[in-house]
Amino acid sequence: MMTSVNIAGVDFKNPVMTASGTFGSGREYSKFVDLNRLGGVVVKGVASKEWLGNPAPRIAETYGGMLNAVGLQNPGVDVFIEEDIPFLRQYDTNIIVNIAGKTVEEYVEVAKRLRDADIDMIELNISCPNVKEGGVAFGTDPKMAEYVTSEVKKYAKQPLIVKLSPNVTDITEIARAVEAGGADAVSLINTLLGMKIDIYKRKPILANRVGGFSGPAIKPVAVRMVNQVYNSIKLPIIGLGGICTGEDAIEFILAGATGVAVGTANFSNPRATIDVVEGIERYMDVMGVGDVNELIGNID
């Protein structure tokens, strides 16, 4: 049975990775998950300098999912290079670094700092709904999306994945823009913008008022968008949004994803990534699929 895939020239032993911001840099999860079993680890967003994130409360549960407004808290790229890369390199898995910035210059600075780092790919987050500047503003305007992609591409040494926001009318427009900007792959979806209200206090639960909605409840939206993007551009796709099981992952692959990532599911089931790897293998076995690549976009 062949489960390996190639995304923008990088070989993955299987399509399964972690979703940025839901797995840290793998250290905490390594007690539960053998990181060697994963196709890749996508780390929490890294900025040029330390970011403190948003005030609490910044997490709220919803039916079938959650809202978060963490606000891309991170210790900055230097700490990441010093501490997290050596940790992750002990394992036989790809390291994908999700980068964040408030300005184009900040994104470029992180890509430059990572040029000599021992990592496999960069994922450009132009889709976070919880930061005031940058973030989602870049991901919802096709011209800005193309511009920031092309600027980062100039300086990035590793293949560049651009992560798309679902908070747009037509995601294929943004996908085409980042393809034109030189992206090597796209990942989708980031969180949907959501809100939850405490009806007794009559105020929003999150200090930030709104947050990013993720988890199983968003899966149909994500599958639809992956399929639309698959039919619109030539770049390989990493699909995510509510994946909890191997069956969920297969749905994304059939919609057109070459890779898949597991996010919110890690919080309720620390071994979710392994369950997804095993679930894909089980499906292939039962369905007599010899090579996972046969499944990509293979629906009527």
The annotated binding site is made up of: 20, 44-45, 68-72, 98, 125, 163, 189-191, 215, 241-242, 263-264
CB of 43 to ligand FMN, least distance (A): 8
Beta strands in 148-221 (DSSP E): 160-163, 185-188, 192-195, 197-198, 203-204, 210-214
CB of 273 to ligand FMN, least distance (A): 11
Q: For 206-266, give the DSSP string.
A: STTSEEEEESGGGHHHHHHHHHHHHTT--S-EEEESS--SHHHHHHHHHHT-SEEEE-THH
Long-range contacts, 234-238 (Cβ 8 Å, 24+): 234/179, 235/8, 235/175, 235/179, 235/183, 235/184, 235/185, 235/186, 236/7, 236/8, 236/184, 236/185, 236/186, 237/185, 237/186, 237/187, 237/188, 238/7, 238/17, 238/161, 238/185, 238/186, 238/187, 238/188
Measured from the CB atom, is 35 or 222 closer to ligand FMN? Answer: 222
CB of 26 to ligand FMN, least distance (A): 14
Residue ranges of the annotated binding site for FMN are: 20, 44-45, 98, 125, 163, 189, 215, 241-242, 263-264
Measured from the CB atom, is 60 or 72 closer to ligand FMN? Answer: 72
CB of 295 to ligand FMN, least distance (A): 20
Measured from the CB atom, is 223 or 233 closer to ligand FMN? Answer: 223
Measured from the CB atom, is 45 or 134 closer to ligand FMN? Answer: 45
Q: How far apart are CA 140 and CA 232, in angstroms?
A: 17
Residue number of the CB closest to ligand FMN reads: 21
Q: How far apart are CA 167 and CA 96, in angstroms?
A: 24
Measured from the CB atom, is 64 or 86 closer to ligand FMN? Answer: 64
Interhelix angle 104-113/142-155, nearest 10 degrees:
30
CB of 41 to ligand FMN, least distance (A): 12
Q: Is there a contact between 24 and 42 (Cβ–Cβ < 8 Å)?
A: no
Site residues, ligand FMN (CB under 6 A):
19-22, 44-45, 68, 70, 72, 98, 125, 128, 163, 190-191, 212, 214-215, 218, 240-243, 263-264
Structure tokens at 219: 């899966």
Residue ranges of the annotated binding site for substrate are: 44, 68-72, 125, 190-191
The residues that are catalytic are 128
